[in-house]
Structure 1
């Protein structure tokens, strides 16, 4: 197909598109309304970020370098998570089912040990 015919076809379709109001609405106004609606629904208008209540079950009882405490402090410092520490998984699961926390994270007993071994040899899987 010759380039002049392609350009003529594009011009014809553009003219036809811009003459129909319904098509213009779907091209320009609908996406703007869609973005605004979902922005208000999921982003909120106040600009504040909600804090999520997270239950943390710490099964790591080692005090190697207190990695677990540093990890929990780093999570709390994000201001997105509100950390509630549990000493057993059953209590955390009960609070989760009652809606007192939105998620439960279980820190394994080998957490500190795995961090120490990673720092010794980060390239060794």
Structure 2
């Protein structure tokens, strides 16, 4: 007798944090999430310093790459961050369950993950004078 057990899909949320040098975060900024083909998946505004994108669903093991970018706004005197952050999601299978690991790197190859439980991706802004 053959038994087949389907692996339950896993959900993974990508997060980033926004800081604004020189003043508090009272204005909203738009952040874009792209898949590995460059297709825009979602645009999200910061909530204070936090940006949380909708959960991504995975039903098989693999390596998945996403890009987070800040969308330049029109605030007078603001220098917008052109940094690109790459989120690499590794989905692995263990004991018939899917598990995820997320690593964040910025566009100069630096690891942007500061804490394994709370990824800290800083997209900084400064006020032009």
TM-score by length of 2: 0.20
Larger radius of gyration between Structure 1 and Structure 2: 1
Higher strand share: 2
Higher helix share: 1
